[in-house]
Structure 1
């Protein structure tokens, strides 16, 4: 066996040697042994750079953002009440600033009433919107004042109107409608004239005066025949701002405090009038009241006197009307309606008949009123206000066309340019619109 294996190895060696020898002699016909080949590297192909990046170079697409759930119908419907609550809270906390903004906007509409005659409806729309918004603010601030721990001292008018607004829902609703009609009456007249001419304007004027008269007659019935006051709703009452109190405390802390005096006691001392402050003796510690100033004696005495109206119940501030005094109140309510109907039926603009009829009804109401000793102070104040309102008859109808208009024109020509321009704008309103001079 060993000899045969050696012979096989020798034969293999001889065979390989012969193969290599043949390869050297004729390389083209060389027979290569079956050895493993190493792979040749492939030549890199030149790729043209295209505008579109390859998939490997492109960034991985971002995961789609999670979509927010759509609000339900209930959530959408709950948004306006939330916004309204936020607005109410803002108005309550910034009552002083809101009043200033309203006054500024209202004054702006007074200064330029007809400077742009083609835009008179827009100007009056702003004025009406401010008035309606202030009416809504009055209701908010009235509720805020009622929640204060110490109620402010109210006037007789505020006590009376507040009593009926809180007691009678019918009074509150009718009074609200009446105020809204008064705030928008001139705007309605302008719109009616723009769309339907003079005929439509007088229809709207008579309709508005009829609505106002109906509301006042209903209020007269709700209050059990007591005179009407103007305005029929409580006026706005001031609310102390929290910001003012904070600023005052900061000033006191920065300026230094008196020895042995706390900030709260110092602010309380400043809030009191001079004659109510006390002086503390340094040795004994006893306090003595301060004497009033000689020039402040009248206010000192009035501050300690209660009038009859101060102790009366709110519903007793106006007496019930009977007989002639009740007829006077009804005539006063119907006087504007009678005048508007007479003007609408009159064909001549400068006719004296409507003016005389309206003034006669108003004067008859004033003559029939009760002037006895039983009239209250609030009733006397209301009739005094009505007396001043009768001056508007000089700016109406035939009296303005024949008398007052010439006087106003003469005064306008002698005024400076800016004042004359404002008077001319008001002349345009007085001459063309009924409610511009309606009291």
Structure 2
């Protein structure tokens, strides 16, 4: 018996060691090949778009593939952030864990709703919608009041902009590698200080160009200058490392209202029904009031200003939400698409499938309790 236990432990240790080696290899491969990883993710996402029409797969399965593609991006971004040191330094581990859970909820909630509706009908669908929104609100309130996370994006962890966030490190590494090989380079001192030696300024023309020795790999090269330097010669703080602004007073109340708005909308739906204008108007009023209260403060970083702009644009989605869509937007939108399809040559190849999918997308994505 003891021999069996010893042999079983050895087998388990061997399996665990092989798993650790495979995991380390995969982390290194992802961190060294972000472009290849991005292409695989794009293929996976396009496949999720083509599934319903090409293979005639149920929309629930297609939504599952789409959710998995988003989770794959989140997973790979986590590896790349860890490899590049792009995690938010001012938030502790528990706050970052809550942000990851919120992001997972954002990426999977549509699939959960659709799967619940297929398995348990509308009652099951609304039950899971309620559970998801309650959990989301609780997590976001904990982040806001306990961890001082400031103005929160949705999803909290945005996809990593691999072109801008990863290229500067490649350029810096390239410069460090070639710095000793190219002594005596005639580089403008002010530009060298601001751009870490990856660009130089022409003495006569004044044009700023990137050094050949500091160029990244050929697959990552663009015509843009490295983004790690600002125009005044000082380093910019990457949005990944920006500290969240502390919300107090009216802005804090505005963000709290934004968090509570999905719950207010759900409650009003249960009270007045889905065909009533009151939930639609209440939700719109809450969104506008939240924006006005948040805009009373001017002390936001760049990512938070971008989030406020996104929230303002999201107000346009109310035109695609019932009952406004059913009574006003649908007829006008379909009429405009039909007119463009008959007027512009070749436009029908894109617009006709769009008109066919629009009722399905409106019923699945343009709801009002999540955003």
Do the structures match in fold with TM over 0.5?
yes
Say whether the 8 Å CA contact 2:133–2:370 is kept in structure 1. Answer: no
Output the CA distance in 2 between the equivalents of 1:438 and 1:290.
56
Output the CA distance in 1 between the equivalents of 2:247 and 2:116.
38
Given candidates 408, 411, 419, the residue that maps to 2:351 is 419
- Equivalent runs, 1:259-274 vs 2, <5 Å: 264-265=181-182, 272-274=198-200
Query: Is the aligned partner of 1:367 residue 2:367?
Result: no
Deviations 1:283-321 (A, max 9, x none): xxxxxx5641399xxx999533449x859xx67x54322
Residue equivalent to 2:98: 174
- Equivalent runs, 1:12-411 vs 2, <5 Å: 72-110=11-49, 119-146=58-85, 162-164=88-90, 167-224=91-148, 226-233=150-157, 235-236=159-160, 237=162, 238-239=165-166, 264-265=181-182, 272-275=198-201, 289=203, 291-293=205-207, 303-306=231-234, 317-347=243-273, 349-411=274-336
| Closer, same or farther: CA 401–346 of 1 in aligned 2, 3 Å | same
Deviations 1:196-234 (A, max 9, x none): 111211111121111111111111023337222344236
How large is the Cα RMSD of the aligned pairs?
4.0
Deviations 1:248-299 (A, max 9, x none): 9xxxxxxxxxxxx999539x899843516xxxxxxxxxxxx5641399xxx9
How much does 1:175 deviate? 0.3
| Closer, same or farther: CA 113–405 of 1 in aligned 2, 3 Å | farther
Say whether the 8 Å CA contact 2:258–2:286 is kept in structure 1. Answer: yes
How much does 1:385 deviate? 1.7
How much does 1:332 deviate? 0.9
| Closer, same or farther: CA 269–393 of 1 in aligned 2, 3 Å | farther
TM norm structure 2:
0.73
Say whether the 8 Å CA contact 1:328–1:369 is kept in structure 2. Answer: yes
Say whether the 8 Å CA contact 2:27–2:79 is kept in structure 1. Answer: yes
| Closer, same or farther: CA 292–230 of 1 in aligned 2, 3 Å | farther
Partner-residue secondary structure (3-state), 2:88: helix
Larger Rg: 1
Output the CA distance in 1 between the equivalents of 2:186 and 2:73.
35
| Closer, same or farther: CA 384–262 of 1 in aligned 2, 3 Å | closer
How much does 1:145 deviate? 1.1
Deviates more, 1:107-116 or 1:396-405: 107-116
Unaligned runs of 5+ in 2: 1-6, 188-196, 210-224, 342-347
Say whether the 8 Å CA contact 2:151–2:255 is kept in structure 1. Answer: yes
Say whether the 8 Å CA contact 2:251–2:297 is kept in structure 1. Answer: no
Unaligned runs of 5+ in 1: 1-68, 147-157, 249-260, 277-288
Say whether the 8 Å CA contact 1:202–1:344 is kept in structure 2. Answer: no
Partner-residue secondary structure (3-state), 2:89: helix
How much does 1:162 deviate? 1.4
Output the CA distance in 1 between the equivalents of 2:300 and 2:367.
32
How much does 1:82 deviate? 2.7
Deviations 1:107-148 (A, max 9, x none): 4434666677751111111111111111111111112113xx
Output the CA distance in 1 between the equivalents of 2:73 and 2:230.
34
Output the CA distance in 2 between the equivalents of 1:364 and 1:436.
16
Q: Which has the higher contact order (CA 8 A, sep 6+)?
A: 1
